[in-house]
Amino acid sequence: MSDLELYVLPGCPFCARVESTLDDLDLDYVEHVVPRSHGRRTEVEAISGQTGVPVLVDPDHGVDGMPESADIVAYLEATYGV
């Protein structure tokens, strides 16, 4: 069981790419849906320093708030891939 957390916005293609990778790697994660308005995304901003999504948190590996879907996918594949 992992402690992965993913901040997402429904309908976001970048979020869907990360979710697909998590599913392909059979990883459990907690999903946090952020508000549509960037001005109301205070939680994700506090974690990552920005209001965009997706953002990954992986406390088991010292990742406090990784933005950018391409970076997240590469990280997941390198860290959890076979």
- What CATH number is attached to the domain comprising 47? 3.40.30.10
DSSP state of 3: -
- Count up the domains in the chain and report the number: 1
What pLDDT digit, counting tens, does each position of 7-45 carry? 999 999 999 999 999 999 999 999 999 999 999 999 999
Q: Residue 46 belongs to what domain range?
A: 4-75
Question: Is the pLDDT score of 2 beyond 80?
Answer: no
